Amino acid sequence: MNEMNAWGWQVQRSLGTESKDGIDGIVYPRSDLTAHWNVAELDRLAESLNRDGICVIRNLFPQTLIEDWAIAFDQLFQQRKNQAGGLAPREQSRYYLTLPWIDPFANTAIFANPVILAVLNRVFAQEYRLVQLGADVPVQGSTYQEIHRDFRPLFMDQFVTPLYAVAVNFPLVEVTAENGPFQMALGTHVLPREEGLAKIASGEIPIESFYLQPGDVMIRSPLALHRGSPNLTDRPRPMIVMGYVMHWLHTAHLDLRIPRAYYESLPESIQQMLRCEVVDRLAEQQVETYINFKY
């Protein structure tokens, strides 16, 4: 079955081609895709995202790709630590940083991944935009974050809307009980905040840890109640976050800057998915502006 997304991409067909655009593509043999991420599986992922506020796609990205990201990330993190404003605080010993749109981070196989987009095409009724590429990093000494949502509801708590924004997360290291798993309470994206908090406090809805392997991806509603947990190890636990929103949602901060040469190399359909500032060159130093993060 072929399906058309809001830009007219033949989503199902693109899953089976080597690389939709010929740039940076991971080569997915058709047999792999149809075996693992067939229409029924993609439907199941979208269903759990709508119902639970989260779905986990196991083993989506190759290990080698995650290793390349991890090496580049470690360098970037060191550099940002030594620069005023280079990291945004996220409570105790926990940081947020924006990734630069350069190799290996600028990669259509990641930010325009056909499997991720096939899930997004199922949950978003209209076009959506990528507005964020960053990382959440708890380090040794981090504590439980306050339970929170990353966005406010569109109108009021009592008015439940379809998903209008999602966070796509993937770790650069294995996430274990020791290094601070992301924790979330299923189904709380459709509850008023106070009701969700009360159900978590009473134990009616557990707050669950998400243990992930490098290559695993989770897609979640930023309205689901969640928190970071303590990283007890001496190694940072970077969790990449890509934020996608419906085309009409304007978020307060815009930190997506893309070098012109890279932007111009992308197919128009992918350019349209990016809400970004196209720049002649990236600034040497990035000051984080995404400071208010919990609602």
Ligand X SMILES: O=C(O)CCC(=O)C(=O)O
State yes or no: residue 150 binds ligand X (CB under 6 A): yes
Contacted by 236, from ligand X, Fe ion, none: CB < 5 to 8 Å by type: none
50 sits in which H/E element: helix 39-52
Q: Using the rule CB under 6 A, is 185 a contact of ligand X?
A: no
Residue 239 touches ligand X, criterion: CB under 6 A:
yes
Residue 118 CB partners (closer than 8 Å, separation 6+): 11, 12, 15, 37, 42
Q: By CB under 5 A, which span of 17-25, 32-40, 51-59, 142-150 interacts with Fe ion?
A: 142-150
Q: How far is the CB of 16 from ligand X (least distance, A)?
A: 34
Q: Please name the residue that has the structure tokens 């993609």.
A: 42
Q: How far apart are CA 123 and CA 50, in angstroms?
A: 7
Nearer to ligand X, 33 or 173 (CB): 173
- In the complex with ligand X, the residue whose CB is nearer, 114 or 171, is 171
**Identified binder of Fe ion from the candidate list 41, 68, 127, 150, rule CB under 5 A:** 150
* Distance (Å, whole) CA 225 – CA 151: 10
Q: Which tokens is 211 given?
A: 């243990």
- Please report whether residue 171 would count as binding ligand X according to CB under 6 A: no
| Under rule CB under 5 A, residue 91 binds Fe ion | no
Residue closer to ligand X (CB basis): 215 or 243: 243
Identify the CA nearest to 126 among candidates 29, 4, 241.
4
Please check whether residue 178 is in contact with residue 233, taking contact to mean a CB–CB distance below 8 angstroms: yes
CB 227 within 8 A of CB 183: yes
Q: Which helix (H) or strand (E) holds 260?
A: helix 260-265
By a kind-dependent CB cut-off of 5 to 8 A, residue 136 interacts, out of ligand X, Fe ion, none, with ligand X
Please give the residue ranges that form the binding site for ligand X (CB under 6 A).
90, 136, 138, 145, 150, 182, 226, 228, 239, 293
Please give the residue ranges that form the binding site for Fe ion (CB under 5 A).
150
